[in-house]
Structure 1
């Protein structure tokens, strides 16, 4: 594990990179040193993206009592290795991440593909997951064959245009970002254009192949929060509510006028939902 520390052995760690399964993994800590003694949250991004999609949530969480690991999944962003080709493999990787960070148990927050990973990890490794927050989630996330083919062609811009276009609701298409200087659609395109060739295709194929969402939801024993965009065209809110109904303990927050990219389109509402749920779990 590569990390920088202060001078005393008891000082919390300022983690830059972890070594997981032999590869360097970048973990953003929200601007505060990582302390595994505090409640830990791990944030998992969606297909073809990286930790920066959580920029408007990580800092708040880190400055309000949590230790944050917003990771770049293998082969994404600043993390090394190759992208893993199944949701189950990514779920197992999460437990290896926790081991590398010295964390016994964490809350998992996932978006889209990351939501499937968090769900599967909670079902397969219940002793490591204290709660899950699933954004833009559904039991199945099928991908159209034409999009799969376009994404498999490395550098194919039409795949990025389709994902970003369908992934945003009206606010993204009208330039209505709540963050000064951030345009959601152009920003999303630039983020996905920077991904390594072939990564988006691997990710979308993993989402398309995952058929265990319902069984995983049935098996999850920990509390769950679903944060859904009312206008999500990629994982419709109706499908998210149906998945939530299969969980033993779940809450649903549906954010109006919002598409699939919940955390960037509605950052304040997302933070409010996250903190209300996590505070309840701490109590």
Structure 2
């Protein structure tokens, strides 16, 4: 589905279905340098179970036009514009990595309109190291390789995807390469600059779920404690043997967790 927001095209994957405001709705928000396609499995499942699914491409990503937004706050405001444009009064929000920060900010702003929250691979704050920022700005190929390497557990770098014939490392590299060069750098700097995560978490009224790999090297498990403590009503799920790219490292477990949380 394509919408016009602020004179630019906004793309939402809806599994080729029209939005029905009478149905429950879930918004999927991708991480830095990616697009809606990381959510295909999960969006299709909930669509088949009579949900509105909105797997969005942020501005300047995937099929959405416009400049890449430079702050988590601006990305959150854009998400709310999408939800308002579609006339949805209550939505669940699911975000991965940078998308989890956008989810925190959006849920805090929406208050009771955000009925469920899922944070995948999330910490707050979410600092990005200087070597990574230097690479995203000046050496995009190196940045893609570096982030891909760090995104998977050491075990899963060698393979292990439950879907036969899929090489997770190559898939990650291709996703980065298909985005415009500026997107990853701007996204990473937005993550690094965002300081409102814990305050936003404390304002969230919806039941929350955090899903985290115990071998995550980008947002280490030990760094999740402050965010867990800030959330008012949160459940925490640790995925054994998984890194930061949970939606491909253990898609079935992530889907089961989403079903349990969103359908309860």
- How far residue 64 of structure 1 moved from its aligned partner, in angstroms, is 1.8
CA offsets 1:171-190 (integer angstroms, 9 cap, x no match): 53112111223211001001
Instruction: Identify unmatched segments of 5+ residues in structure 1.
Output: 1-15
For 1:187-206, list aligned pairs within 5 A: 187-206=171-190
Check 1:20–1:58 CA distance in 2 against 1; reply closer, same or farther (3 A cut): same
Tell me the CA shift for residue 31 of structure 1: 4.9
1:40-79 pair list within 5 angstroms: 40-79=25-64
After superposition, residues 157-176 of structure 1 pair within 5 angstroms as: 157-176=141-160
CA deviation profile, 1:208-264 (whole Å, cap 9, x unmatched): 001111111111111111011111111122222431221111111111000001111
**Pairs within 5 Å for 1:94-243:** 94-153=79-138, 156-243=140-227
Cα deviation 1:133-154 (Å, max 9, x = unaligned): 000000111111121121112x
Structure 2 SS opposite 1:161 = helix
- Does residue 85 of structure 1 match 2:63? no
Query: Is the contact between residue 3 and residue 10 of structure 2 (CA under 8 Å) also seen in structure 1?
Result: yes
Question: Following TM superposition, by how much is the alpha carbon of 1:62 offset from its aligned partner in structure 2, in angstroms?
Answer: 1.0
**C-alpha displacement at 1:129, in angstroms?**
1.4
Q: Scaled by the length of structure 2, what TM-score is found?
A: 0.96
Aligned to 1:26: 11
Residue 240 (structure 2) pairs with residue 256 (structure 1): yes
Distance 1:248 1:228 in 2: 18
Q: Which consecutive residues of structure 2, in runs of 5 or more, have no partner in the other structure?
A: none
Task: Tell me the distance in 2 between the aligned counterparts of 1:242 and 1:252.
Answer: 13
CA distance in 2, matches of 1:180, 1:33: 32
RMSD: 1.4
CA contact (8 A) 2:112 2:206 kept: no
Number of equivalences: 264
1:277 Cα deviation from its structure 2 partner: 0.5
Q: Provide the C-alpha distance between the structure 2 equivalents of 1:128 and 1:45, rounded to a whole number of angstroms.
A: 20
TM-score where L is the length of structure 1? 0.90
d(CA) in 2 for partners of 1:32, 1:254: 33
Contact 1:49 1:77 in 2 (8 A): yes
Question: Which structure has the highest helix share of the two?
Answer: 2
SS of residue paired to 1:132: strand
Secondary structure, aligned partner of 1:38? coil
